[in-house]
Amino acid sequence: MLLDRIGKELLIFDGAMGTQLQEAGLRAGDIPEELNIDRPELIVSIHEKYLGAGADFITTNTFGCNELKMQESKYEYRDMLRAAVSNANEARKNAGREQDAYIVLDIGPIGQLLEPMGTLTFDEAYDIILSQVETVKHDVDAVLFETMSDLYEVKAGILAVKENTSLPVFVTMTFEQNGRTLSGNDPVTFVNTVQGLGADMLGVNCSLGPAELGPIIEEILSVSSVPVMIQPNAGLPCLEHGETHYHVTSDEYAELMQGYLKDGISAAGGCCGTTPEFIRKLKAASPKKAAPRKIEKKTRVSSQTKTVTFGDRVIVCGERLNPTGKKKLKLALKEERYDELVSEAIKQDEAGADVLDVNVGLPGIDEPETMKHVVKLLQEVITLPLQIDSSNARAIELACRYYNGKPLINSVNGKDEVMEAIFPIVKKYGGVVIGLTLDEGIPLKAEERFEIAQKIIAKAAEYGIGKEDIIIDCLTLTASAQQKEVKETLKAIEMVKKLGVHTVLGVSNVSFGLPNRPLLNRTFLALAMQAGLDLPIINPLDKELMGTIDAFHVLFYKDIDSESYIRNQSNAAETKAAVQTEFSLHDIILHGLKDEVEAKTREELEKKEPLVLINEVIIPALNVVGKDYETGKIFLPQLIQSAETTKKAFEVVKQCFTADAGEEKGPVVMATVEGDIHDIGKNIVKVVLESYGYRIIDLGKDVKIEKVVEAWKKYQPKAIGLSALMTTTVISMEKTIQRLREEDCSCPIWVGGAVLTEDIANSIGADYYAEDAMASVALLEKLI
C-alpha cells in the first residue's frame, strides 16, 4: 500500500516534464497535453527514463488539462487525460515497475482567480477539478496538486478528491522569494490548513532552486505533522540566446538536497530544469528510509493569509459579531445589510482582536445560508481567522466548507448527539473545536465540568481529532445569580489545563445584572488568565480590557522587554476618544468596501471638486494600499479588493467630468504573449492600473504578434505591457518587442511575469521590468 510507505521510506518523484518536451521540440504555443495523443511514444519514453533513474512516482502529463485551459485545444480534455494515464501505465509496464511504482494524476492551477480575487466561484473550481479526477480515478494511484498559489483552490481540490474517491492526495505550493505564494499564503498557514483537510503529503515545488527554498522548506518541516515532499527547480532561470537555462548541475542538485533529506523529507524530486540524470543522482545519494521528525503539535487557526498560534500569549476573540443583545446588529441581519457586520469586523481588527466570533443566529432568517454569505463576505476584507459560532450543524457545515483557512468552530458540548453531529464536520474540514463543559445543564462544580471535558476529548479522539484541535470552555457564570460558582470556573480552568488543552471563556457573562460591569469584567479576566485562560471572548474596543491583557503579558513574561505593552499603552491616555462610527472614503478604499464606496463618493462630491477628490483622497488612499502591499501588511486579495473599490469610485467621479477634461490616463495596451495561456498576472496588473485611472486596452492571452502591432497603430498607447508565465514563451515576448521596434514603435514597453527578471527583460529588448502590480503603477506614474 502506498500510504504504508509514505513517511517511512524515502520515496523519489520524477523530474520536469516540460524540460524534456522542450528538448524534444516543443515550441512556444504548443499545448503539451496534446502530445499525449499526438506523440504517445515520446511521453512513454520520458516516463520510462524517470522510472529507469529510480523514480517511485511518475506524474501524468496533465498539468493544465482542465476544461478552461484546454478550450482551444483540438482534443477534448477528458480524452487527453485518459491518454496521459494510459501512457504512464504503459511506461510502468515497460519498465517492469507495476508493483513498486505509482502513477500520480498531475493537476496544476485552473488558470483563473477564485473569488474574491477573481470571478471563478469555489463551487465552479470544485466541479472543474472533480471532472478531471472522475475521468481517471480508477486508473491512478494518487492525485498531486502542484505549483499551486491559492489556498482556496487547493481546498476545492482536496474536497473534490476526498469526497469522491479514496485516492491519496498530495499538495505542493509554489512560493515566491518573499516567502509567500502569489495570493499571500505563508508556509505555516498552508500547512495548518492543508493537513487539517486531510492531505496525505504536502510540500513545495517550482519557483526557486533547492538553495533558495531553504527557509521555506525549513518552516514547513517545523510545523507539518504529515509527510513532506519537495520538488525544487534546477536553480533560478536564466535566458541565454532566446532559451531558458538552469545552471545547477545534477551533482550540485543532489548535494543540495542532502540536508533536506536528513531533516526529514519523505519524498523528493525535481521541477523545472531537472532531468532523469538529476533523479538518478538524487536516488543514488538518498537513504532508503525517511529521517524521523519530532513535531510539537500546537493549536493553530488560520485565515487565508494569517495563522494564530495558541500557547505563547493570550489570544483575543472579538465578540461583537453576535446579535445577542445588539438591536442594531439584529436589524441589520434581518434587513440583509451586511455592511454593518463588515464595518464592525474592521473596527475589532483595528482594535487588536486576533480572531473574530461570527454568529448570525436569529429567528426568522435562514441561518445556514446567512452564515455562509457572511463568512464569504468577511474573508474578502478581513485577514483575521474566524470563529464560526452556531448551534445549527448545517450552518457550521456550510461556513466551514466556504471558509478559506482552518476555522475555529464554536461549539460542541457533552451531549452524545451534539458531538456525533459536529465532530464529523470538524474532522472533514480540519477545524479547531470549542467544547462546552455542559450536558443536560451547566454543572456547578469544577470537578463535574472537568469530567465533561474528559468526555469531549475522548469522544473527539474516536473521530481522529487530537487535543491540539480542541479548546475547552469552562463556562462563565453570572456573579449576580451564581456568585458562589464563579470561582468554580477558575478552578475548572486550572484542572482542564492539566489535560493538555487550551481554554476559552466568554468573559463579560460574569457581570450581567450588576453595576459598573467593566470593573468586574477586567478583574475576572485577570483572574482567569492567571488560572490559565488562553482565549477570552471579549469586546476588543474596550481599551481597559485590552490593557489588562497587555499588562498580564508583561507580568507573566510573555511580552519580552514589554515591547507590545509600550507600543499599545504609550498613547493610551490620548486615545480614549469615541469609537469611529462611520468610515471615510479613504477608509472605504483602504478596506476594500465595494458596497459602500459609490454612495460615499457621491456624498464627498457634494463637498469637493472631482479633481480635488481624486488627488487629495482617492490617490493617497491607493498609495497607502500600495505601500501596505509592498511591506507585507496586506496581500493580493486585499490589494485587488481595494483596486476594485477604487474603480467604482472613479466611475462615479467620471460622471462629473466633461469629455475633454483629461481625467483619464493612457491608453495603455496589455497582452499575454503568443503561446502563453496564463493571464492571471496580467489581469491583476490591469485591475490595479485601472484603479489608478488608467485606460487599459486588454488584448487578452495567447496574443499573436500581429495583433499587438495592430493595437500599437490603432490606439497609439502611452505604454505597452507584455506578460509571460511560461519559460517557453519568453522568446515570443522577445519577438513581439523586435517586431514593434521594426514598426517604429516608440512608446515604452514593460514586461513582467513569473519567469521574468530584470536581466531577462534587458536581454530581450524591453525598456522596463516590473515585478508586480504596484511596481507597474510606480513605473507608469513616472512614464505617463
Residue 238 shares a structural domain with residue 375 = no
Q: Is the CB of residue 143 less than 8 Å from the CB of residue 133? A: yes
Integer Cα distance of 52 and 96 in angstroms? 10
Same-domain pairing of 231 and 348: no
Looking at residue 640, which CATH number applies to its domain? 1.10.1240.10
Strands 169-173 and 142-148 turn out to be parallel
209 assigned to some structural domain: yes
19 vs 435 pLDDT, higher one: 435
Q: Which residue has the cell 475576572?
A: 524
Is 345 found in the same domain as 254?
Answer: no
**Predicted pLDDT at 243:** 65
CB 130 within 8 A of CB 103: no
pLDDT above 60: residue 638: yes
Range of the domain at 105: 2-22+35-284
In terms of DSSP bridges, do strands 719-723 and 665-672 run parallel, antiparallel, or are they unpaired?
A: parallel
What is the number of structural domains in the chain?
4
User: What one-character-per-residue DSSP string does 74-98 give?
Assistant: SS-HHHHHHHHHHHHHHHHHHTT-T
Q: Would you say 49 and 31 are in contact if contact means Cβ atoms under 8 Å apart?
A: no
206 annotated binding-site participant: yes
> What is the chain's alpha carbon radius of gyration, rounded to the nearest angstrom?
28
- Taking residues 710-738, report their average pLDDT: 90
Question: Please, what is the average pLDDT of the chain?
Answer: 93
Reported as a single tens digit per residue, the pLDDT across 727-767 is 768 888 999 999 999 999 999 999 998 778 898 999 999 99
Q: What 3-state class would DSSP assign to 402?
A: helix
Residue in the block written with cell 518523484? 13
pLDDT over 90, % of the chain: 80
Q: With the C-alpha atoms ordered 177, 178, 182, 187, is the resulting torsion angle positive or negative?
A: positive
Find out whether 238 is annotated in a ligand binding site.
no
Quick one: 642 and 670 in the same domain?
A: no
Asked, for residue 407, whether it belongs to a domain, the answer is yes
What pairs with residue 229 in β-bridges? 203, 267
Question: 529 and 486 share a domain?
Answer: yes
- Do residues 402 and 528 share a domain? yes
- For residues 48 and 172, state if they share a domain: yes
675 plus 649 within the same structural domain: no
486: domain CATH number?
Answer: 3.20.20.20
- 107 belongs to a structural domain: yes
CATH number at residue 710: 3.40.50.280
Residue 258 has pLDDT above 80, yes or no: yes
Classify residue 744: in a domain, yes or no: yes
d(CA 647, CA 631): 23
Are 250 and 212 in contact by the 8 Å Cβ rule? The answer is no
Q: What is the DSSP letter of 17?
A: S
The answer on whether 474 is annotated among ligand-binding residues is no
Same domain, 753 and 674: yes
For residue 660, what pLDDT is reported?
Answer: 42
Percentages helix, strand, coil for the chain (3-state, rounded to 5) are 50, 15, 40
> Are both 250 and 280 inside the same structural domain?
yes
CA distance 623 to 620: 5
Instruction: List strands edge to edge, sheet with 749-752.
Output: 694-698, 665-672, 719-723, 749-752, 768-769
| Residue where a domain stops, chosen among 557, 572, 593 | 557
> Does any domain span residue 296?
no
Residue 581: pLDDT band (50, 70, 90) is: low
What are the pLDDT digits (tens) for 233-245? Answer: 998 777 666 566 7
CATH of the domain at 223: 3.20.20.330
Q: What tens digit of pLDDT does each residue of 461-493 get?
A: 999 999 999 999 999 999 999 999 999 999 999
Report how far residue 329's alpha carbon sits from residue 344's, in angstroms, rounded to the nearest whole number: 9
User: Which pLDDT score, from 0 to 100, does residue 576 have?
Assistant: 45
Please check the confidence at residue 15 and state whether its pLDDT lies above 70: yes
* Domain-ending residue, one of 244, 267, 284: 284
- Taking alpha carbons only, the member of 519, 559, 526, 565 closest to residue 542 is 519
671 and 643 part of one domain: no
Please list, residue by residue across 385-416, b when 16 or more beta carbons sit within 10 angstroms of its beta carbon and e when fewer do.
bbbbbbeeebbbbbbbbbbbbbbbbbbbbbee
Among 125, 120, 127, which Cα is nearest to 154's? Answer: 125
CA angle 640, 646, 651 (to 5 degrees): 130
DSSP helix/strand/coil, 502: strand
Predicted confidence (pLDDT) at residue 657 exceeds the cutoff of 80: no
Confidence of residue 611 (pLDDT cuts 50, 70, 90): confident
| 339-393: pLDDT as tens digits | 889 999 999 999 999 999 999 999 999 999 999 999 999 999 999 999 999 999 9
User: pLDDT at position 658, please?
Assistant: 52
Of 45-54, 572-581, 732-741, the least confident: 572-581
Any domain includes 441? yes
Residue 458 placed within a domain = yes
| Cell numbers linked to 668 | 495603455
Q: Is residue 141 assigned to a domain?
A: yes
Single-letter residue type at 56: D
What nine digits make up the cell of 641? 479588493
Q: How far apart are CA 611 and CA 346, in angstroms?
A: 29
**Residues 412 and 446 reside in one and the same domain:** yes
Per residue in 529-552, pLDDT tens?
999 999 999 999 999 999 999 999
